[in-house]
Amino acid sequence: MRFPVVIHKDKDSDYGVTVPDLPGCFSAGDTVDDALTNAIEAIECHIEGMLIDGEMVPPARTIEFHSKNRQFSGGIWALADVDLSKLSGKAKRVNITLPEHLLVQIDSYASRSGETRSGFLVHAAMEYVSTHADSGSEQDADDQAAAAVKSKS
C-alpha cells in the first residue's frame, strides 16, 4: 500500500515526516532519504499496532487530496510503499478459486507495481474492508461473514 507522506524541515532541525492518513504517525531523518526510510518503518509499526488493537487500516488517499490542506503547505510530497502482507503475525496459506482472466489481471498489476500476488490480494482485501466496514464494528463484520457462510451451506 502506498501512503502519501509530507516531508518538512524547519530551520536547525532534521527532516520531519507526517503521514496524513495515519493520525499520530510521524518520523524524521537527517536527510530526505533517511526520513523516507524511517517513515516506512514508522508506518509499519503504526499499522501493526492498529491491527493488534483490532482497528481498521484507513485507505490511503491521494497526494492531490492532502496537498489541499494548508497544514502541509511548503512540504515535499512522496509515497511510502509498505507491504501490508508482512504485517500482523503469521501468514496462513489459503486455497481460493478465481476466474482465470481475473488472475491474469491481478498478476499483471502486481508485477507492474512491484508486488507479489499475495501482497496485492492482502492490500486489496484490507482496502476493501477498511472502506466498507459497517460503522467500524468488527463484531458486525464477523456476524455478517458467519451469516453469509451459513446461508451458503
Query: What is the residue type of 112?
Result: R
Using the 8-state DSSP alphabet, how is residue 70 labeled?
G
| Average pLDDT of the residues of the chain | 83
The whole-number pLDDT of residue 26 equals 94
Model confidence at 17, pLDDT cuts 50, 70, 90, reads: very high
The whole-number pLDDT of residue 88 equals 62
pLDDT digits (tens, 9 = 90+) for 106-147: 999 989 988 889 888 887 887 787 777 654 444 444 444 444
Task: List the domains of the chain with CATH numbers.
Answer: 2-152 (3.30.160.250)
CA distances from 142 to 8, 31, 116, 117, 121 (A): 41, 44, 27, 25, 20
The whole-number pLDDT of residue 79 equals 94
The grid cell for 68 is: 489541499
Answer yes or no: are the C-beta atoms of 106 and 120 closer than 8 Å. Answer: yes
